[in-house]
Amino acid sequence: MKATFPYMGNIYIPLSTLLKNLDIEPVIPPPPDKETLSLGTKYSPELMCIPFKLTLGNLIKALEMGADTIIHCSGFWSCRYGYYPYLHHQILKERGYKFEYIILKKEEWQNIYFILKKIYKKDYKVINKFIKAIIKTYYKSKIMEELERKAMEIRPKEKKKGITTKVLNKYLKKLYEEDNIFKMEKIKKRGIEELANLTDKKKENSFIPKIKIVGEAFCVVEPYVNFRIIEKLGELGFHADPFLTAHSWLGFHSIRLGNNIYKKVRELAKEYWQYNVGGEDTNTIGHSLLAIKEGYMGIIHLHPFGCMPQTMASGILEKISKEYNIPILDISLDEHTAENLIDTRLSAFCEIIKKRIE
């Protein structure tokens, strides 16, 4: 079996380990680019959001690279993300691609056992393989998270612009290629040390304003879609803190790790948002309110053009901005969004925050 899955940020790093340890060959398409987006847009319904189009383009590339199976998440929630696998399946079949589709639903997690049983036949092999694969995947994902978070902390204080991202990518590449847990730990240790040494001594004790990034999951996690906003904010002297990362997306949406945080932000959001309609709407509002309580200087709201839950949340965030006197930058993203326009808005937003600090 040669399997692929939707590409989103660095999620491929731990997921490739999961598949390899289940004796499934992962097929990882190249990182998203203009060609991928153009390909997905060409075959998508016009009003579908950019995560749908970019994912479709990546799946097409993966199938052309030899993948014979697509693994996709779904579920019974209000957001139309739950329908993506079925629409992708129909579009790809109509284009003549031949493949198997495995749709994982969080409401039917036991189906994973039956899928693996078809491969391994014997129960003990299924259980042993799955437990070992999950342990390695979790460790790799957690280490990836620690490296990424350390880079977010160091980037506003780095000696040379762009050096933090370069070092981070070096260690993420090493992590991707490693399968031994103990060696993964060594990579993390060396990576954290090297990142820490990138700090400019003059900026070491300076105040670094923090900006919370909220919104739809794909737009927050995938740097191609958000124009590497986390890196850019860091290089502008701000600590960018996304409410969601590839690691937390895997943990929260699969086995509900960090559920206590979700309960906390859900309670905070209740004053403004009573019903979760999907698309990270409750998280967007709740994490924004939590960020305000924790002293963040600004909030950036990223979402796809046409996303109903996030469009509704935008109105609530506008109200929160006025009530709490905090700047909130709303950025709607689609295939027509220009990077230079985003850069201009981002720079202006950062200047507003700097003037407030002065």
pLDDT of the residue at 221: 96
pLDDT of the residue at 131: 85
> Which residues of the chain have a pLDDT value below 50?
none
Q: Which residues pair with 302 in a beta bridge?
A: 215, 331
Give me the DSSP letters along 213-281: EEE-HHHHH-TTTTTSHHHHHHHTT-EEEES--HHHHHIIIII-TTHHHHHHHHHHHTTT--S--STTH
Residue type, position 200, single letter: D
pLDDT of the residue at 275: 82
pLDDT of the residue at 253: 64
Q: What is the pLDDT of residues 158-193, one digit of tens each?
A: 999 999 999 999 999 999 999 999 999 999 999 999
Percent of the chain at pLDDT above 90? Answer: 73
Q: Which residue has the tokens 């590339």?
A: 61
